Structure 1
Amino acid sequence: MNTITKNISVSLFLTLLSVGIANAKSEKEEKAEKDDNKPPIGCYNSGYQFELEALHLHPGGNGQNQSMYFLFNTLGQPVNLFQMRDEESSRSMYLNHVIGPHEWGILSTNEKKVKFICSVPSKKSPYGQVVDCAQTLRVCEYTNVRYGLNNRGNYWLANSSTRNGAVNAVVHYGIIPGM
């Protein structure tokens, strides 16, 4: 009888211990996910506006001619960003991009105005269904960025990544985000 009681108490203890560990892991994962949704330190809510379901970026508002934007997809599905241009040029290329669910993308640009329309995948259209960018994206701009001579221009720095992965991509390119 004593052995049975001992076995039951040990199994009960191990069960409670495993439940506690599982809860601690899920809380840690939730905290990490919540932290990943926050913009990086020094990235400010400036240099953009949402108008007519589109995202309008206004780099250079702080006097710099090159800006870096962090864009976070708040949806549980990929968001397509299609650049809208006012005029065509043989020397300019479209900055279309896809940001994965709950991930970050980084755009570096030196154009005066950049406009994007957002869409989510749809079976009815190859371009997807247009959605309101204000409801699907969170945007912030690094206003004081130091670029090397070889890092200027218009390009996506990080495809779809976590916040730490996106910041590491910036550092890997040799760009110094200012505070």
Structure 2
Amino acid sequence: MKTKTQLKKSLLLLSALCVVMGAAEAKKSTADKDPQAVKEADNMKNPIGCYDTGYQFDLKTLHLLPSMAGKRQSLYFIFNALNQPVNLFQMRDGESSRSLYLNHSINARQWAGLSTTEKKVKFICTVPEAKNPYGKIVDCAESLKVCEYTNVRYGLNNRGNFWIVNSNDKNGAIRDVVHYGVIPGM
């Protein structure tokens, strides 16, 4: 009987020791991380309230579908996951012939913000290439990370199709949007 009790106590002590050692190791590995790497990892995450919806990738192109998840006036945040600039060239259908092109360039590892009222916006992605002024076509699904704010509050003068954020880190992009007078919803 005594040996069973001693065995139970030993097992309990051993398991408690393992838990403490595991917690100490986890704390040590977190402290050893490079602050720049932690900041870069945070910059790649979607902003709070920006959902993985309202778009699709098809045949190396990006299709934004604002009315799919909410109101037609939508705010998209687009992250360039490459280590070089990505150019977005709008591909238009016949029905959007009176609107301006929404071509844009996003710097490496940066976010851009697009506000749109179009039913559907299509982009093809390219990276700079010396031979071609438009660049080399790349797969948008591998180059970009996209999220949509589905519940956005706009002022009366901020409606339409335009790039709110040209190219900035995540926090800077959110500040630019709020400074412009658009309130991203949660």
TM-score band, normalised by shorter chain:
0.7 to 0.9
Amino acid at match of 2:154: Y
User: Per-residue displacement from partner, 1:76-132 (whole Å, max 9, x unpaired)?
Assistant: 000000000012766311000000000000000000000000000001100000000
Deviation at 1:62, TM superposition (A): 3.1
Who is 1:38 aligned against? 45
For the residue of structure 1 that corresponds to 2:130, the secondary structure is coil
- Name the structure 2 match of 1:103: 110
The 3-state SS of whatever aligns with 2:67 is coil
Question: TM-score, structure 2 length as denominator?
Answer: 0.80
Q: Which residue of 1 aligns with 2:23?
A: none
CA offsets 1:2-43 (integer angstroms, 9 cap, x no match): xxxxxxxxxxxxxxxxxxxxxx89711111111011110000
| RMSD, matched Cα | 1.6
Find the structure with the greater CA-based Rg: 2
Provide TM-score, normalisation by structure 1. 0.83
**Which deviates further from its counterpart, 88-97 or 34-43?**
88-97
The one-letter code matched in structure 2 to 1:50 is F
CA distance in 1, matches of 2:45, 2:96: 37
CA shift in 2, pair 1:143/1:63, >3 Å? closer
Aligned AA (1:172): H
Cα deviation, 1:116-163, whole Å, max 9, x if unaligned, reads 000000011000000000000000000100111100000000111000
5 Å matches for 1:146-165?
Answer: 146-165=153-172
- Asked whether the 8 Å contact 2:53–2:69 carries over to 1, the reply is no
Identity among equivalent pairs (%): 64
**Distance in 2 between residues matched to 1:98 and 1:57, nearest whole Å:** 17
> What secondary structure is seen at the aligned counterpart in 1 of 2:115?
strand
Counterpart amino acid of residue 112 in structure 1: K
Partners of 1:29 and 1:164 in 2: CA distance: 15
Farther off after superposition, 122-131 or 57-66: 57-66
Q: Which has the higher helix share?
A: 2
Matches within 5 A, 1:122-137: 122-137=129-144
Structure 1 CA distance, aligned partners of 2:79 and 2:122?
Answer: 16
- Tell me: CA distance 1:90–1:46, structure 2 relative to 1, closer, same or farther (3 Å): closer
After TM superposition, the runs of 4+ consecutive aligned structure 1 residues lying more than 4 A away are none
In structure 1, the residue matched to 2:27 is none
SS at match of 1:177: coil
* Distance across 2 between alignment mates of 1:31 and 1:65: 35
The within-5 A match list for 1:6-155 is 27-87=34-94, 91-155=98-162
2:140 maps to a residue whose letter is C
Q: Deviations over 1:52-95 (max 9, x none)?
A: 10000000223412000000000000000000001276631100
Q: Which runs of 5+ in 2 are unaligned?
A: 1-30
Aligned equivalents of 2:144, 2:32: Cα separation in 1 = 28
Shift in Å, 1:165:
0.6
